[in-house]
Copies of this chain bind each other. A is one copy, B any other.
Amino acid sequence: MSEYLVKSLAQLKALLQERNLASLKGLIAEAHPVDIAEFIKMLSIDESLIVVKQIEQPKAATVLTELDKELRSKILSELSDEEVAYQISEMVTDDATDTVSLLSDEIRPKIISLIEDKQHAKGIVELLRFGEDTAGGLMAKELVSVKEGWSVGKSMQEIKKQAENVHKIYSIYVVDKEDKLKGRVPLKDILINPEKTLIKDISILDIKHVSVHEKSEEVAGFMQKYDLESIPVTDELGRLVGRITIDDVIDIIKEEAEKDYQMAAGISTDIEYNTKLIKTIRARLPWLLVGTCGGLFAAYLIGGFTSIVESYPIMLIFIPLLQATGGNVGVQASAIVVQAIARNELKGRILKRLSGEMLLGLINGITISGIAIVISYFFFDITKKELIVIGLTIIAVIINSGIIGTIIPFFLNKKSIDPAIATGPFITTGADILGILTYFIIAKMLLIG
What is A's interface to B at a CB cutoff of 8 Å? 1, 32, 34, 42, 156, 159-160, 163-164, 166, 168-169, 187-188, 191-192, 208, 224-227, 229, 246-247, 250, 253-254, 257-258, 260-262, 264-267, 271-274, 277, 280-281, 284-285, 287-292, 294-296, 298-300, 302-303, 309-310, 313-314, 316-325, 327-329, 331-332, 334-336, 339-340, 343-347, 349, 352-353, 356, 359-360, 363-364, 367-368, 371-372, 375-376, 379-380, 398, 423-425, 428-429, 432, 436
Residues of B within 8 A of A250 (CB): 224, 246, 250, 253
Q: How near does chain B come to A57, taking the closest CB pair, in angstroms?
A: 17
Residue of B nearest to A33 (CB): B226
Residues of B within 8 A of A317 (CB): 298-299, 302-303, 309, 316
Q: How near does chain B come to A329, taking the closest CB pair, in angstroms?
A: 7
Q: How near does chain B come to A295, taking the closest CB pair, in angstroms?
A: 3
Q: Are A363 and B163 in contact (CB under 8 A)?
A: no
| A331-B265 CB under 8 A given contacts A324-B323, A346-B273 | yes
**Cα separation A281 to B364 with both chains bound (whole Å):** 7
- One of B265, B336, B367 near A271 (C-beta < 8 A): B336
Q: Are A291 and B375 in contact (CB under 8 A)?
A: no
Q: Are B299 and A320 in contact (CB under 8 A)?
A: yes
**Cα separation A208 to B34 with both chains bound (whole Å):** 12
- One of B321, B339, B352 near A258 (C-beta < 8 A): B339
Q: How near does chain B come to A435, taking the closest CB pair, in angstroms?
A: 9
Residues of B within 8 A of A359 (CB): 277
Q: Are B368 and A277 in contact (CB under 8 A)?
A: no
Residues of B within 8 A of A253 (CB): 250, 253-254
Residue of B nearest to A345 (CB): B273
Q: Are A191 and B163 in contact (CB under 8 A)?
A: yes
Q: Are A262 and B192 in contact (CB under 8 A)?
A: no
Residue of B nearest to A283 (CB): B332
**Cα separation A286 to B147 with both chains bound (whole Å):** 62
Residues of B within 8 A of A188 (CB): 160, 163-164, 166, 169
- One of B323, B328, B379 near A425 (C-beta < 8 A): B328
Q: Are A1 and B344 in contact (CB under 8 A)?
A: yes
Known A-B contacts: A280-B360, A291-B324, A294-B321. Give 10 more (CB < 8 A). A32-B226, A163-B191, A246-B247, A267-B335, A271-B336, A272-B340, A291-B321, A292-B321, A296-B321, A298-B324
Residue of B nearest to A318 (CB): B299
Residues of B within 8 A of A314 (CB): 303
Residue of B nearest to A227 (CB): B247
Residue of B nearest to A261 (CB): B261
